[in-house]
Amino acid sequence: MDGLILVNKPQNLTSHDIVAEIRKLLKVRRVGHFGTLDPLATGLMMVGLGKATKLFPFLSKAVKSYRGVMRLGFSTDTYDSTGQPTSTEKKDFPTKQSVRKAMKKFEGAIEQLPPPFSAKKYKGKPLYSLARAKKEFELRPARIFIHFLRLKKFKLPFLEFEVRCSSGTYIRSLAHDLGHSLGCGAHLIELTRTGVGNFHLEDCFTLEEIKKLAEVNKAYKFLHPLESLLPEFPKIILDDQGSSSAENGRLIFAENIQKIILPSPSLSTDSSESAVIFRMFNPQGKLLALAKKMPEKNCYHPFLVIDTRQSSK
């Protein structure tokens, strides 16, 4: 079984738990997720099966959308409601106008420190293991991009918000840093991922729904096939000889190309890769490889081969 499942993750399960459940439900060995969600968080989680796991470098980079709630008044060591307070509680809250102004400052390209309790690695070890052991380590900032951070509801001490951001953004850090900027402290108490790239929360299935559909052999209802993925990349249809070359990673020349189909303008993408990467298909419509154009040789190089001749177990 090869493809992508959009799982509606419930609270209190880790991303690893979701992968393990899908592996058990569908009896598929190769399963992986394309973006961690904390146990506190809910919502859209992309899970790849079989050969879809090869597309991790591309699917994991997609822009993410969230809605959530943060609590003003004090910060915590985990930056969310599961942690211990690290500041005394304050009752002197900012105005709605001050909050909106502070949020605006976080939009655009910024440097962000990960939470001390996170899966981010430091010298090969996850930060949470070092933090729990009370060992000293250096937090290193990462360059991220916040497309927007909007206040949706102002009901002190709670702020309901929505955010669209680049991959690698920690919403817990965003809440913590906003609290620091406002001078009153803050931490995240609720979070739901509502979108990843062109996928949306309303397209997701719960674990129970996936189980019931799998039991009656209707996996096609929740499984996005390989051929439907990365539609923002142009599509090249090859002849039989070109298909054989692509399956073996050999260069593809113009005489082996039957057609090039450009993506729909409605497919939004924030990646420059969409202009230089092509999906290669055989005449029967099977995805064979991802390729890059080599103008100097007037050909295409299949740099990521996806073998479709055998199904994954």
Please list the active-site residues: 38
Structure tokens of 214? 């799998």
| Residue tagged 């799982």 (tokens) | 7
The answer to whether the beta carbons of residues 163 and 173 sit under 8 Å apart is: no
Which residue type sits at 192? T
How far is residue 306's CA from residue 309's CA, in Å, rounded to a whole number?
Answer: 9
How far is residue 139's CA from residue 104's CA, in Å, rounded to a whole number?
Answer: 25
Which residue type sits at 191? L
Residue 165: φ, ψ to 5°: -150, 170
Counting every residue, how long is the chain? 313
The answer to whether the beta carbons of residues 43 and 9 sit under 8 Å apart is: yes
Name the residue among 143, 144, 119, 142 with its Cα closest to residue 130. 119
The answer to whether the beta carbons of residues 54 and 4 sit under 8 Å apart is: no
